[in-house]
Structure 1
Amino acid sequence: MASKLLRVANSLSRTLPRVQKLTGVTAPVSQRYGSTDVATASQVQLLETRVSELSNGLKIASESSGEPTCTVGLWINAGSRYETEKTNGVAHFLEHMIFKGTDKRSQCDIELQVENMGAHLNAYTSREQTVYYAKCFAKDVEKAVEILADITQNSKLGKEEIERERGVILREMQEVDMNQQEVVFDYLHATAYQGTPLGRTILGPTENIMSIQRDDLVDYVNTHYTGDRMVLAAAGGVDHKQLTDLAGKYFGKLPKTSSKRPEVFPTRYTGSFIENREDDMPAAHIALAVEGASWESTDNIGLMIASTHLGSWDRTHGTSTNTVNSFTSRIIADNLCHSYMAFNTCYTDTGLWGIYFVTDKMDITDMMFSVQEGFMNLCSSITDFEVERAKRFLKTNMILQLDGTTPICEDIGRHMLCYGRRVPILEMIKRIDSMSGDDVRNICNKYLFDKCPVIASIGPTEQVPDYNLIRGRMQKYRL
């Protein structure tokens, strides 16, 4: 069963209490939030996100749109952050093993049933979450829920299958190692959170993959796959009452909690750098970042706007120097890189905010200093007009990302784990609209100005400036 890594790049903020329940919204936008750039019209109907909870703590959240298809999945508070140095990689290993057969179904039976339904079953592991989801016809919701319940609660985790899967995961590790962007972001976490679980990779080291045993997998399931750490989310053609009944039927026997409570080790951000010099590579891949905000931080909206302002660019886009974004215009005019991408990655109690770029070895220094100049301009020189334009881009991107039952289901599941509720899109729009230019500049000052950055680089990196020089340019004279 295919698996993939998820880099949580979407970041939201929360200002309302976690216990607030969501209700359907049907009034015009102007009556609820005042005028916005995204929707000022007539009547905007919002679908209701309904939430229920079983006695064992498992939450059920769904949004019904009446479509002929739906996506239903389990979002679990379990990822590489909850592993030890010895067991690093077990969450991802378990994700692979989940599909290898249960007491009721063999691996072949699982695949045949899913294919005969015309459904799609997949999973991914991140640093803080593990997800199993199915996209199917609305009439097959019960079948999908029953399969998800079976594989997550009754997997055999056979020793022969474990031995076979070691090779599969090692090949996946080789594929990841060939993706320079993935490698740079793993390095970035390793240097930013050195000595803490967030600094470790999701797949784990090779020696762990070769040594993980069935007892490690069983222990991880018993510790983390409990009702209070799980959300059953669905979107599309799904009835919430039916979904709640199905949750009780198939997940009702899950324990509410584990006698062995998962330990969340505190993070420790360290301004530092890591370099893997490979002069044979055609280009350098570099990430420059600072410690950002957590999922629940009220500063996140400002950082999202700042990240959207910097945006992303690639030579294949064909954008000219006439682009309205002054930062991108400078990069294009001076031919400083092949591509760049601003990012804002959030976790429970920390985050990483910065830029990843690919550049020729002779342009590294100029590109690095241009990026830092762009950071400092966010602290003092970004205009109100530029802030308003970034806000419009951000709102548009948020709405476009919620296109289809799968991204909506993922939005619901992630929000329920991170905030305890689904944050309505119009609430996000209101928060974005409420940010002024001064707010964005103040937040950028708080997180960027005179802060210790982290740098990760691979490739022909001889021209990467000394860390002390980079650190010194995280400020500039202001009148």
Structure 2
Amino acid sequence: MPLNLPLVAPGSPGAELVVGQDGGAAVRRTVLPGGVRVLSEHMPGLRSATVGAWVGVGSRDETSGHFGSTHFLEHLLFKGTARRTAMDIAEAFDAVGGEANAATGKEHTCYYARVLDTDVPMAVDVIADMVTSARLDVDELETERGVILEELAMNDDDPSDVAHEQFATAVFGDTPLGRPIGGTPQAIRSVPRDAVWEHYREHYRPDTLVVTAAGGVDHDALCAQVEAALTAGGWALDPGSAPAGRRAAGTTGPVPSGTELTVRRPTEQANVIVGGTCLNATDDRRFVLSVLTAALGGGMSSRLFQEIREKRGLAYSTYAFASGHADAGLFGLYAGCTPAKVDEVTALMVVELERMADTPMGAPELARSIGQLCGGLVLGMEETGARMSRLGKAELVHGELLDVDESLARIRSVTAQQVQELAGELAAAPRSVVRVGPFGD
């Protein structure tokens, strides 16, 4: 059964939850004073752990004048606090053989570290110090501005990255979800330090913070470490405060009815993506969507791979993908091919989607797709980072935690009729096409 994650004040029913997991693991959740949520998964026999601090703010939450601030903060929190320099932060993890990093998304930001179980207190203290007490020094900000611009330039040199970034813009248009996660070079050059500071003070609060850990962790000790570290960082943890509400599944705003976009790059190969909007992150049919993408373009036996690469030799890489947000999702079919073959490959990808909508999958293909997903899920859950991320997304996005057996059961319950019906919706939806390559006018 799924573990429901209610948004309640500390001490209320539901503020303390425990549920057993596969392999003897156990998930516990505690709401601390201030509304801070702590979730851990103890995995017996592991001598390592991954710890993450999640803040429910992403690039879509930026307002005019603050564009690029979310990604800027991901960098700047590593550049020093009132107690630590940037070198202190780096040395703390290097000295124990640990790894620390961060990731910005459209709807959340995560700072995480993988360390030995004995070094979890250090990781919690350092990450909490970064989250609560970042200095956002003016000189460091200007230095990091150059680093971020180099990162954006690196991504812009990768035509596949450009295709995916432009595809999101083509599908979602002039809406917050259509903006690049990392910001544009223009936004990064122009955003002032005060705007980044305002963004930080507005969104980095106890009630928006979720701390997750998986591996060799003790939940009670973790909660004590988190509370002590946040207090040391100057956060006032009000005993009566409840967690902030989860992101509402409202509307993204006006979305284009299908856009074609060509980006010219002097490359040997063209990159093309065709697709559009699809299910949001909490839609019950997301497991059906997973089976659909696996069958259509999830492996070497998938329809796209077999038709475009194996039978016709038109591409080296081709696949299907999908991602979900609170109020919308993205579905696409990708291929990299010779520029002269772009139209032919695009047509073949659309044909395969329409064929899936017209005719139910056969039992062998359905079983193979389900088996691929189930195997990938179980193998992925062998790593502490994946388990840590699962806890964070369950808390911030879904409001429930599915154990591995429940997730497998939902995947295995998908029918060929459900896949066909969803494929029909996707095939009938407005379609966007993005091409990146050496095209003329």
- TM-score normalised by the chain length of structure 2: 0.89
Whether the 8 Å CA contact 2:2–2:401 is kept in 1: the answer is no
Whether the 8 Å CA contact 1:312–1:340 is kept in 2: the answer is no
Q: Hey, what does 2:11 align to over in structure 1? A: none
Cα offset for 1:421?
3.3
Residue 137 of structure 1, aligned match among 93, 103, 116? 116
Q: Hey, what does 1:100 align to over in structure 2? A: 79
SS at 2:391's partner residue?
helix
After the TM superposition, which residues 419-434 of structure 1 pair with which residues of structure 2 at under 5 Å, given as runs? 419-434=398-413
* Cα deviation code 1:287-320 (max 9, x no counterpart): 111211111001111111000112346xxxxx7x
Instruction: Supply the distance in 1 between the matched residues of 2:282 and 2:261 (Cα, whole angstroms).
Output: 32
After the TM superposition, which residues 58-207 of structure 1 pair with which residues of structure 2 at under 5 Å, given as runs? 58-66=36-44, 67-207=46-186
CA RMSD of aligned residues (A): 2.6
Residue 290 of structure 1, aligned match among 276, 281, 289? 276
Whether the 8 Å CA contact 1:70–1:135 is kept in 2: the answer is yes
Q: Hey, what does 2:437 align to over in structure 1? A: 459
Q: Hey, what does 2:201 align to over in structure 1? A: 222
Instruction: Supply the distance in 2 between the matched residues of 1:108 and 1:279 (Cα, whole angstroms).
Output: 39
Cα offset for 1:267?
3.7
SS at 2:154's partner residue?
helix
SS at 1:71's partner residue?
strand
Whether the 8 Å CA contact 2:3–2:402 is kept in 1: the answer is no
* Cα deviation code 1:152-201 (max 9, x no counterpart): 11111111111111111111111010111211111011111111111111
Alignment CA distance shift 1:64-1:180 (3 Å) = same
Q: Hey, what does 2:343 align to over in structure 1? A: 365
Instruction: Supply the distance in 1 between the matched residues of 2:236 and 2:42 (Cα, whole angstroms).
Output: 26
Q: Hey, what does 2:315 align to over in structure 1? A: 337
* Cα deviation code 1:432-461 (max 9, x no counterpart): 11111112212222x323211111111135
AA at the equivalent of 2:158: N
Whether the 8 Å CA contact 1:274–1:456 is kept in 2: the answer is yes
SS at 2:319's partner residue?
strand
Whether the 8 Å CA contact 1:188–1:287 is kept in 2: the answer is yes
Whether the 8 Å CA contact 2:67–2:191 is kept in 1: the answer is no
Alignment CA distance shift 1:16-1:402 (3 Å) = closer
Alignment CA distance shift 1:186-1:462 (3 Å) = same
Alignment CA distance shift 1:116-1:353 (3 Å) = same
Whether the 8 Å CA contact 1:23–1:50 is kept in 2: the answer is yes
Alignment CA distance shift 1:173-1:279 (3 Å) = closer
SS at 1:456's partner residue?
strand
Q: Hey, what does 2:229 align to over in structure 1? A: 250
* Cα deviation code 1:4-63 (max 9, x no counterpart): xxxxxxxxxx9985548864447xxxxxxxxxxxxxxxxx63512111111311111111
Q: Hey, what does 1:311 align to over in structure 2? A: 297
Instruction: Supply the distance in 2 between the matched residues of 1:384 and 1:333 (Cα, whole angstroms).
Output: 22
Q: Hey, what does 2:355 align to over in structure 1? A: 377
Cα offset for 1:258?
11
* Cα deviation code 1:245-270 (max 9, x no counterpart): 112222353565999x9998734332
Cα offset for 1:278?
2.8
SS at 1:244's partner residue?
helix
Whether the 8 Å CA contact 2:303–2:352 is kept in 1: the answer is no
Stretches of 4+ aligned residues off by more than 6 angstroms:
261-265
Instruction: Supply the distance in 1 between the matched residues of 2:122 and 2:314 (Cα, whole angstroms).
Output: 53
Instruction: Supply the distance in 1 between the matched residues of 2:385 and 2:319 (Cα, whole angstroms).
Output: 25
Cα offset for 1:107?
1.2
SS at 1:52's partner residue?
strand
Whether the 8 Å CA contact 1:227–1:257 is kept in 2: the answer is no
- TM-score normalised by the chain length of structure 1: 0.82
